[in-house]
Amino acid sequence: MRKKLLSLIIAVVMTVLLVVPVNADIIDDGYNGFATRLYTVVLGRTPDPVGLEYWGNRLRTRNISFADCARGFLFSQEFLAKNVSDTEYVTVLYRTFLDREPESAGLDYWTGRLALGSVNRDTVIEGFSNSAEFGELCRRYSSSSSASNGITVCIDPGHSGVVASGYVPLGPGSSDMKLADTSGTRGRFSGVAEYVLTMQIANQLCTELEARGYNVIMTRTDNSTPVDCVTRAQIGNNGADIMVRLHFDGLDNSSVSGAHSIVIAPNNPWNPQTYAGSARLGRCIIDSYCSATGIRNRGVSEQNNMTGNNWSTIPCVLLEMGFMTNQHDDLYMTNPANHSAMVNGIANGIDAYFAS
C-alpha cells in the first residue's frame, strides 16, 4: 500500500513539473524564447526547466546555431518516436523554420518530392533552414537576446546576378581602371553560381553576428542588384568598423584547393593605415574558418590589385572560402549542412580579432 502511495505521489509531482509553465525568470531572452517555441512546435509540450536551460545556454554561449538547435529537436528520439507522416513532417518544418502554416502549393511540392524519393527528410530541413524567412526569424530572437557590443561589421557578398557595368579606378585617384565587377565563378561539380553562395553565407553570417551582439551592414541583400566594387567599399566606410568580403575561388586546375584571405600590402599607395588591422583580421578569420571547416589553410595574401580592398578606409579582408573548381571544396561549400560550420568559423575569427 505504501509503495502504491509513493508511486502515486511521484506521478503527481512529475505531472505538475510537465504541465506547470516554466518560471518566467527562465524565459527571459530570445535564446530561451527560441528553445521554448521548439518544445511547443516540435515536441508539442511545455519545456521542462532543465532542458530549456540546456538549450538556452548552448545558444547563448554560441556552442550551437539556431538552425542546429532546431535540428536537435527534429532529430530527437522524442520527436522521431511520433512517427509522423510526410504531410505532418513538412507542416512541422513550416512552423519551426518559417513560423507559419504551410501554403498548399509549398506543402504539395515538398511532400511530392519526398514521395518520389528525390529528397529525404534531412535534405528538406536544409532547404527550410537556409531560407530568408528563417533568417528573419532568427534576427527577431537575436535582437531580443543580445545587447549591442557597439561594433559594426560590413559584410560584402561578392558579385551579383546582375553585374555592375563599366570601369572604376583601382584606388582613390588612380588612373588604373578595372572592371566595376565581374560575374564570379561557378561550381564545376555543383553547378552553383558564386554570387548565389556568397549571398547564402552572408545572410547566415549576418544572423550569427547579430546574435553575438554586432551591428551588421550588408552591401547587397539580393541577387538582382548590381553593386560595383567602389560602392561596396564606400558602404563599409560609412559607419562600419571592419569589412569582410565573401568570395570563392576558381581555376582551370581542379586539383588546387583551400581557402585564403587577401588584404592590402604594407606599401599600399591609397590606404596604408589600414594594413596592420587588415593583416590581423585576415589572419584571425582564415585560421578560424579553416579550423571550423577542415578546408586547407592557404594563409594570408598581401596584394594591392583588389579594388574593394584599396578603397576601404577601415580594416578589410577578402575571404576566398575555397575553390569551386575543386571537387572536395565545391561539394563541401555548396552543401547547406556545412554552412553553419563555415559561418561560425568566420564569426569566431571576427570575435578573435576584436578580443586581441
Q: Residue 215: beta bridge partners?
A: 152
Q: Residue 22: beta bridge partners?
A: none
- Nearest one of 82, 135, 88, 80 to 110, comparing CA atoms: 88
Span 68-118, pLDDT tens digits: 899 999 999 999 999 999 999 999 999 999 999 999 999 999 999 999 999
Query: Residue 329 burial by CB count (10 A; 0-12/13-18/19+): exposed, middle or buried?
Result: buried
Rounded percentage of the chain residues whose pLDDT exceeds 90: 77
Number of neighbouring beta carbons within 10 Å of residue 175: 7
Quote the CA–CA distance of 26 and 29 in Å, as a whole number. Answer: 8
Contacts of 135 (CB under 8 A, 6+ apart): 203, 204, 206, 207
Q: What is the number of alpha carbons within 13 Å of residue 89 lying toward its C-beta?
A: 23
Question: Can you give the pLDDT at residue 14?
Answer: 36
Mean pLDDT of the chain: 89
Cβ(224)–Cβ(288) below 8 Å: no
Q: Which CATH number does 2-139 carry?
A: 1.10.3130.20
- Is it the case that residue 26 has pLDDT exceeding 60? no
Quote the CA–CA distance of 164 and 130 in Å, as a whole number. Answer: 26
CATH 3.40.630.40 for the 148-355 domain, yes or no: yes
pLDDT band at 126 (very low <50, low <70, confident <90, very high): confident
What are the residue ranges of CATH 1.10.3130.20 in the chain? Answer: 2-139
- Is it the case that residue 21 has pLDDT exceeding 50? no
Quote the CA–CA distance of 87 and 231 in Å, as a whole number. Answer: 46
Rounded percentage of the chain residues whose pLDDT exceeds 70: 90
Cell 553562395 sits at which residue? 197
What are the residue ranges of CATH 3.40.630.40 in the chain? Answer: 148-355
Q: Residue 316: beta bridge partners?
A: 243
- Nearest one of 165, 194, 170 to 180, comparing CA atoms: 165
CA 230 to chain centre: 25
Number of neighbouring beta carbons within 10 Å of residue 14: 11
The mean pLDDT value for 246-269 works out to 98
Q: What is the 3-state secondary structure (H, E, C) of the chain?
A: CHHHHHHHHHHHHHHHHHHCCCCCCCCCCHHHHHHHHHHHHHHCCCCCHHHHHHHHHHHHCCCCCHHHHHHHHHCCHHHHCCCCCHHHHHHHHHHHHHCCCCCHHHHHHHHHHHHHCCCCHHHHHHHHHCCHHHHHHHHHHHHCCCCCCCCEEEEEECCCCCCCCCEEECCCCCCCEEECCCCCCECCCCCCEHHHHHHHHHHHHHHHHHHCCCEEEECCCCCCCCCCHHHHHHHHHCCCCEEEEEEEECCCCCCCCCEEEEECCCCCCCCHHHHHHHHHHHHHHHHHHHHHHCCCEEEEEECCCCHHHHCCCCCEEEEEEEECCCHHHHHHHCCHHHHHHHHHHHHHHHHHHHHC
Among the ranges given (149-153, 198-202, 203-207, 262-266), the one the predictor scored with the smallest mean pLDDT? 149-153
Span 155-201, pLDDT tens digits: 999 999 999 999 999 999 999 999 999 999 999 999 999 999 999 99
Q: List the strands of the sheet with 242-249, edge to edge.
A: 215-218, 152-157, 242-249, 316-323, 259-263, 297-302
- Residue 286's identity, in one-letter code, is I
Q: Please, what is the Cα angle at 132 between 146 and 148, to 5 degrees? A: 15
Cβ(160)–Cβ(224) below 8 Å: yes
- Is it the case that residue 10 has pLDDT exceeding 50? no
Cβ(86)–Cβ(120) below 8 Å: no
Question: Can you give the pLDDT at residue 132?
Answer: 74
- Is it the case that residue 147 has pLDDT exceeding 70? no
